Amino acid sequence: MREDIQEILFDEEALSNKINELGKQISNDYKGKELVVVGILKGSVIFAAELLKNISIPCEIDFMAVSSYGNSTESSGVVRILKDLDHSVEGKDILLVEDIVDSGVTLSYLLKYLKARKANSIEIVSLLNKPARRKAELDVKYIGFGVPDAFIVGYGIDYAEKYRNLPFIGTLKPEVYEK
Residues that bind ligand IMP (CB under 6 A): 43, 68, 75, 98-106, 130, 151-153, 157
* 154 in contact with Mg ion (CB under 5 A): no
- Identity of the residue, 57 or 131, whose beta carbon is nearer to ligand IMP in the bound complex: 131
**Taking the complex as a whole, how short is the minimal distance between the CB of residue 28 and ligand IMP, in angstroms?**
26
- Identity of the residue, 93 or 106, whose beta carbon is nearer to ligand IMP in the bound complex: 106
C-alpha span between 136 and 37 (Å, rounded): 23
Cα distances (angstroms) measured from residue 38 to each of 10, 44, 86, 89, 97: 24, 10, 10, 11, 6
**Taking the complex as a whole, how short is the minimal distance between the CB of residue 2 and ligand IMP, in angstroms?**
17
Closest CA to 97 of 86, 110, 88: 110
75 binds, among ligand IMP, Mg ion, none (CB under 5 to 8 A by kind): ligand IMP
Q: Which of 62, 102, 149, 158 is catalytic?
A: 102
* 170 in contact with Mg ion (CB under 5 A): no
- Identity of the residue, 92 or 107, whose beta carbon is nearer to ligand IMP in the bound complex: 107
- Other residues' Cβ atoms within 10 Å of the Cβ of residue 69: 10
Whether 102 is catalytic? yes
102 binds, among ligand IMP, Mg ion, none (CB under 5 to 8 A by kind): ligand IMP
* 43 in contact with Mg ion (CB under 5 A): yes
- Identity of the residue, 50 or 102, whose beta carbon is nearer to ligand IMP in the bound complex: 102
**Taking the complex as a whole, how short is the minimal distance between the CB of residue 167 and ligand IMP, in angstroms?**
16
Interface residues with Mg ion (CB under 5 A) are: 43
User: What are the residue numbers of the active site?
Assistant: 102
